Structure 1
Amino acid sequence: MPSAAERARTLVENNSSAVVTIPGLATAGSDVMTPVRRSVGPTGDVFLLFPDESPAVRVVRAAGGEEIEAVLEITDVAPVAVPHRIRGRAWVAGWLTPVPGGAMESGTTLLRLETGEISLDDLWGAALVEPDEFADAAADPLAEYESELLQHLAAAHSAQVGLLCALVGRREASCDGAFAGSRPTLSAVPLALDRFGLRVRFTGGNSVFDARFDFPEPVRDRDGLRRSMHALFDAARDC
């Protein structure tokens, strides 16, 4: 399974939903505290690009070089239609300072969030991540394409995804014959994807459960994913 540090790094670098909160700062809405871009530096600091008129930029400038406490919150929402779409959240707490000359384009200001505490609560469970672990971790190699790949699986290979229920076996009685006829009694939606495997959410009647399907070996790129998915589908057909 991906480590907590890898999962946190993946969310910070790739998830599209992020907002910065600063204690004591009242804003008109979370949209004005959403960075235009963000990245992680080699020491684990998070760099956030904001419009010059953002409240975050104004507060940091007014501090005159003093560190400002802040929290970057990431909300991970499944890119496919599925019950309970929020897959997890991550929080990076630290201190904001300006980056002199770091603006990437006119009308923007680059801020540095020096990482202090990292926590997450996702499909794997709740965890705390040390700053040095966060700095040493790498984002999942499939994260950049995950939304596209899950949407493709849901739209073009839903029947094959459903057949994976056969691999769950006796652990889940709802899978028995659920996809054998012309009218499946369960729906199967690919929920999450990483280099180690695929997670599917099965829904039907009063039953909602997730099943995790591990790949034969960790995947590094699209070609490796294609081979691993074919191996899963072949295994399901042989059940």
Structure 2
Amino acid sequence: MPSAADRTRTLVQSTCSAVLLIPGVDTARPEQLSPQARVVGQDGEVYLLFAADSPAVRAATHAQDDELPAVLEITDVAPVSVPHRIRGRAWVSGWLTCAPGLAEPGSMMVRLEPGELYVDDLWGASSVDADAFARASVDPLIAHETELLQHLHTAHGDQVQELCALLGERSAAVTGQAGARAVPLALDRFGLRVRFVGHRCFDARFDFPEPVADITELRRAMHTLFTAAAH
């Protein structure tokens, strides 16, 4: 399974929605505190792009040499329609400063130096060390996960449904329910997670024979998975 640090790093560098929470900046609209872009630096610092006149930039500018605490909250929502759509959240707590000269005119990059990190997702909840976060790797499928899951759901729904054959005793919970369906919920280099929805809802994880590094390897892994289910 991916480590908590890898999962947090992947969420931070994904396109999931995010909001920067700053003590004292309570009157701003949520969209004013949502960064336009997120980049992680070599030492694990998180750079966030805002409009130059945004509340986040004003607060960081006003703080000057003082340490301004802030929390980046990221929410991961499944890109397919499924019960309980929120797949996870991550929080990066740290100190905010302006980083002039890194953005185009009219915008400003602010730097969040992580102190504490926490992830609560489909794998479980865990705190993350800032040094581990700096060393962590991003899942290679993250840039394509949304379109891949949507494609699996619309074009390969029958094959995803057939994966219940690999569930052993749990397959009866799916095959015995009229209208039960299987929805591809999450995809990473280690495998596919499917949510089986019926009278009761449960997730099943289907691991690949070995981790995949790109789309080509993913296609082979999915073919192996579907072939195993069909036989």
Consecutive unaligned residues of structure 2, counting only runs of 5 or more, are none
Identify which range, 152-161 or 162-171, moves more after superposition: 162-171
Q: Partners of 1:173 and 1:155 in 2: how far apart?
A: 24
Instruction: State the match for 1:149 in structure 2.
Output: 148
| Aligned partner of 1:215 among 208, 212, 215 | 208
Deviation at 1:28, TM superposition (A): 3.2
- Judge conservation of contact 1:15–1:74 (CA < 8 Å) in 2: no
- Judge conservation of contact 1:153–1:161 (CA < 8 Å) in 2: yes
Deviation at 1:24, TM superposition (A): 1.9
Deviation at 1:172, TM superposition (A): 4.7
Equivalent AA in structure 1 for residue 24 of structure 2: G
Render the CA deviation track for 1:37-78: whole Å, top value 9, x for unaligned: 111001000000100111010011111232210000000000
Consecutive unaligned residues of structure 1, counting only runs of 5 or more, are 179-183
1:25 aligns with 2:25: yes
SS in 2 for 1:87: strand
Q: Partners of 1:77 and 1:212 in 2: how far apart?
A: 18
Instruction: State the match for 1:232 in structure 2.
Output: 225
Q: Partners of 1:108 and 1:74 in 2: how far apart?
A: 21
Q: Partners of 2:130 and 2:65 in 1: how far apart?
A: 23
The RMSD of aligned alpha carbons is: 1.2
Q: Partners of 1:211 and 1:33 in 2: how far apart?
A: 36
Q: Partners of 2:78 and 2:164 in 1: how far apart?
A: 20
Q: Partners of 2:143 and 2:191 in 1: how far apart?
A: 16
Deviation at 1:209, TM superposition (A): 0.5
Please list, as runs of the form range in 1=range in 2, the aligned pairs for 1:1-239 lying within 5 A after superposition: 1-103=1-103, 105-176=104-175, 185-204=179-198, 206-238=199-231
Equivalent AA in structure 1 for residue 8 of structure 2: A
Overall identity of the aligned pairs, in %: 61
Aligned length: 231
SS in 2 for 1:88: strand
Identify which range, 129-138 or 19-28, moves more after superposition: 19-28
SS in 2 for 1:228: helix
Render the CA deviation track for 1:127-167: whole Å, top value 9, x for unaligned: 01000000000110000100010000001000000000110
Give the TM-score, by structure 2 length. Answer: 0.97
Q: Partners of 1:16 and 1:52 in 2: how far apart?
A: 22
Give the TM-score, by structure 1 length. Answer: 0.94
- Judge conservation of contact 1:27–1:55 (CA < 8 Å) in 2: no
Deviation at 1:177, TM superposition (A): 5.8
SS in 1 for 2:201: strand
Deviation at 1:235, TM superposition (A): 0.3
SS in 1 for 2:166: helix
Deviation at 1:27, TM superposition (A): 2.5
